[in-house]
């Protein structure tokens, strides 16, 4: 299920450090995404995973800014692009599926207008042609009477329908990269399952490189070929999905998994682990997980662990495995 990418990666993130003012949101994050590959980016609230996604499309909210690092999309340096060039990419080559479908849609415009924007801007389609294409897409995503839906306003649709519209919008111009920012979090459980199924089908069909941000390890198990775990803005582990579930190396990941593998409990990347995730006010000088780590050592308080490969394709940032 996990062929290692032998072709050029779609997305390369190198040493990405993002700050909101002085506060550190992400610290020296490295990620790679190959064509058609789904990478699950997992972490609890505030771990910096959404920030990574927003940084890629350069839509960080104020006062967020990229301090250091590089983001390359098909080899192109995204951080150096002009606003106009970035605009050309958004919606066409890169797309975003947002978290809350209600607040993500403009309440005073009809669905038809909003959903066909990308098609009309990037593909130059006329209103009728774009509408027709969107009807086709919505139908494909399982929306009954899609032509009707185009005439509606966002508040008239259910949460699941709205999210399908947003997914249709994202895929409408055949992007080569999709960033899914917790697309099921705001939905009820049943709808979550439906949308997930939909995304799995779409992925099987189109094979689009996807950065799937979520706090839910269970979701990741279904969809992703690789998983990256973030904690307090730092990347702590990354591995092929099977490998991660089978042999997680980082104590944090292990803690998360003890919750996932209980079939009757929802898998949350949260703190049944004791304590709270710290928010980094400045550059981390030591391992951010040390306060909650059951395997804490002296060296953990002194230096920041670097990523080390412990198995093919499996990297961990922990002093247990060589660290600094």
Partner 1 sequence: MSLRFLLSRLLLAVLSLWGVSVLAFAILRILPGDPAILMAPVGSTAEDIERVRREFGLTGSWWAQYGAFFLSLCRGNFGRSLWLQQDALRVILERLPATLELAVTALVLATGGGILLGACSVWRRRSWLESGAVSLGTLGIAVPNFVWGLLLIVVFGAILQLLPVSGRIAPEYEAAEVTGSAVVDVLLRRDPAALGSVLAHLILPASALALPLLAAVFRTIRSDLLGALGEEYVVTERMKGLGEVRILFCRALRNALIPTVTLVGVQFGFLIGGTVLIETIFAWPGIGQLTLQAFQYRDFPLIQGIVLVYAVTVILSNLAVDVAYVFLNPRVRLAQ
Binding footprint of partner 1 on the chain (CB under 8 A): 57, 59, 61, 83, 87-92, 95-96, 98, 100, 103-109, 114, 117-118, 121-122, 153, 155-156, 166, 169
d(CA 180, CA 24): 22
- Rounded to the nearest whole angstrom, what is the least distance from the CB of residue 107 to partner 1 in the complex? 7
Q: Which is nearer to partner 1, 7 or 82 (CB)?
A: 82
* DSSP codes joined into one string, 207-259: --EEEEEES-HHHHHHH-SEEEEEETTEEEEEEEHHHHHHH--SHHHHHHHHH
Q: Which residue has the tokens 């290692």?
A: 4
Q: Which is nearer to partner 1, 167 or 227 (CB)?
A: 167
- Cα separation values, 45 from 105, 167, 240, Å: 23, 23, 23
Contact status, residue 183 vs residue 167, Cβ threshold 8 Å: yes
Radius of gyration of the chain (CA): 20
- Rounded to the nearest whole angstrom, what is the least distance from the CB of residue 233 to partner 1 in the complex? 21
- Rounded to the nearest whole angstrom, what is the least distance from the CB of residue 104 to partner 1 in the complex? 5
Q: Which is nearer to partner 1, 109 or 309 (CB)?
A: 109
- Rounded to the nearest whole angstrom, what is the least distance from the CB of residue 87 to partner 1 in the complex? 5
Q: Which is nearer to partner 1, 41 or 234 (CB)?
A: 41
- Rounded to the nearest whole angstrom, what is the least distance from the CB of residue 177 to partner 1 in the complex? 12
| DSSP state, residue 88 | H
Q: Which is nearer to partner 1, 21 or 109 (CB)?
A: 109
């Amino acid at each position: 299920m996990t062929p290692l990418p032998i072709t050029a990666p779609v997305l390369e993130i190198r040493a990405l450090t993002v700050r909101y003012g002085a506060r550190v949101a992400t610290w020296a994050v490295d990620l790679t995404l190959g064509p058609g590959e789904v990478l699950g980016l997992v972490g609890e609230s505030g771990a910096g995973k959404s920030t990574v996604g927003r940084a890629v499309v350069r839509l960080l909210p104020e006062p967020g800014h990229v301090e250091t690092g590089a983001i390359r999309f098909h080899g192109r340096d995204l951080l150096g692009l002009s606003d106009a060039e970035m605009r050309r990419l958004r919606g066409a080559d890169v797309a975003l599926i947002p978290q809350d479908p209600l607040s993500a849609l403009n309440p005073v415009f009809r669905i038809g207008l909003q959903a066909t924007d990308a098609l009309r801007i990037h593909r130059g389609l006329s209103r009728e042609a774009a509408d027709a294409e969107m009807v086709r897409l919505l139908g494909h995503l399982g929306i009954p009477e899609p032509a009707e839906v185009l005439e509606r306003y966002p508040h008239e649709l259910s949460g699941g329908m709205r999210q399908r519209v947003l997914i249709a919008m994202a895929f409408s111009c055949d992007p080569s990269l999709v960033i899914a920012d917790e697309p099921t979090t705001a939905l009820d459980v049943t709808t979550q399952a439906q949308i997930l199924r939909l995304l799995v089908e779409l992925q099987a069909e189109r094979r689009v490189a996807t950065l799937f941000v979520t706090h839910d390890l269970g979701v990741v198990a279904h969809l992703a070929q690789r998983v990256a775990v973030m904690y307090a803005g730092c990347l702590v582990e990354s591995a092929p999905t099977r490998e991660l579930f089978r042999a997680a190396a980082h104590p944090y990941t292990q803690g998360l998994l003890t919750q996932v593998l209980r079939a009757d409990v929802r898998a949350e990347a949260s703190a049944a682990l004791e304590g709270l995730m710290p928010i980094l006010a400045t550059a981390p000088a030591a391992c951010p997980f040390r306060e909650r780590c059951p395997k804490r050592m002296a060296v953990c308080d002194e230096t920041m662990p670097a990523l080390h490969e412990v198995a093919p394709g499996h990297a961990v940032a922990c002093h247990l495995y060589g660290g600094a």
